[in-house]
Amino acid sequence: MSLHLSAVVEERGLDVDLEVAEGETLAVLGPNGAGKSTVLAVAAGLLRPDRGRVVLDGRELTGRTAWVAPHDRRVALMAQEPLLFPHLGVLDNVAFGPRSTGANRRTSHDAARRWLAEVDAADLADRRPGQLSGGQAQRVAVARALAAEPRLLLLDEPLSALDVAVLPALRQTLKRVLAGRTTLLVTHDVLDALLLADRVVVLEGGRIAEAGPTADVLERPRSAFAARIAGLNMVSGAWRDGVVDGIRGIAIDPAPVDGDQVVAVFRPSAVSVFRSSPGGSPRNALAVTVTELEPRGDQVRVRAGHLAADLTVQAAAELDLAPGSEVVFAVKASEVAVYRR
């Protein structure tokens, strides 16, 4: 493994142990306060854990007796805001990394131009940070981070402050430049995880709730947060006689046995909404109270606590739904996938 990080930060309730392979991008997901940025701070050397180790390429950066200063770790941290040096032009901003490691002016400028070209920002070299748009500034920030030739790249919500119009192009740029680089990416955005990350770790309450290949975690979530960002409904509990918390579904190998902790997952589009129990064909029928109606173009997402159903606008109007309405969410057992936790 290129990076091994274990850390206990008692004040922040963090206790994690994770690894990132050489050339891999690991996305760290989780709700606010889960400990995502704390993990980055420990990796960067900005925070010393109460207990733990950080080992990069076999070199111990943090340990019981070891402590390597942030500037000597060969780690680059890129935050939500570009944080470019306002008194330097774009070229000198990007050249800062090579210059700080001893490269002369010509060599560092050559490296800066190469990286600006790599992020499609070569034409910005002569500008000042104040002359850049948000998307342009973030491209320059990416170039500056990579020009330092870090062994580990840390990205803390790098796209969250940008206008939606510039996100697709910058995501594609990041996807290209991160290929083959060891990267730890903190994000709230499911698209960032899907497009940029090889694997995902989900933090909840300072602990790792689940981890695995990105597609697996988002298609078969085992934590409430992963299910929510993937746009899925999830019910968890003990498996008894083919039922979990009143819901029947299709058990996925390895099949659970009675007493196993499982999660049942189904899409909002598979849920029908009724004013009373529909009867008829075998369905899971859940009595719920509507908490929110969320317009989505020609559809309405009906939320009832942690569950959701997608209806057409016409269907929602015919049911006369409003927050506080007592309704029944119905979903066929064949639409529910059940996984062992």
pLDDT, tens digit (0-9, with 9 covering 90-100), for 303-322: 998 899 999 999 999 999 99
Residue 280's pLDDT band (cuts 50, 70, 90): low
pLDDT tens profile 94-150: 999 899 888 999 999 999 999 999 888 999 999 999 999 988 998 999 999 999 899
Contact 289, 280 (CB under 8 A): no
What does the alpha-carbon distance between residue 161 and residue 168 come to, in Å, rounded to a whole number?
A: 14
| DSSP code, position 252 | P
Of residues 37 and 215, the one with the higher pLDDT is 37
The pTM score is 0.76
pLDDT tens profile 167-208: 778 888 888 889 999 999 998 877 788 889 999 999 999 999
Of residues 221 and 14, the one with the higher pLDDT is 14
Q: Indicate whether 341 pLDDT > 80.
A: no
Residue 283 one-letter amino acid: R
Residue 256's pLDDT band (cuts 50, 70, 90): confident
- Taking alpha carbons only, the member of 171, 156, 198, 181 closest to residue 74 is 181
Tokens 């003990």, residue located: 238
For the chain, report the end-to-end CA distance as a whole number of angstroms: 26
Q: β-strands 261-266, 207-213: how paired?
A: unpaired
Residues present in the chain in total: 341
Rounded alpha-carbon distances, angstroms, from residue 148 to 48, 89, 100, 144: 23, 17, 9, 7
Residue 245: left if φ>0, alpha if ψ -120 to 50, beta else—which one? left
Structure tokens at 83: 């944080």
Report helix angle 167-178 to 134-147, nearest 10: 10
Neighbour count for residue 294 (Cβ, 10 Å): 11
Q: Indicate whether 41 pLDDT > 70.
A: yes
Q: Indicate whether 213 pLDDT > 70.
A: yes
Residue-level pLDDT at 282: 61
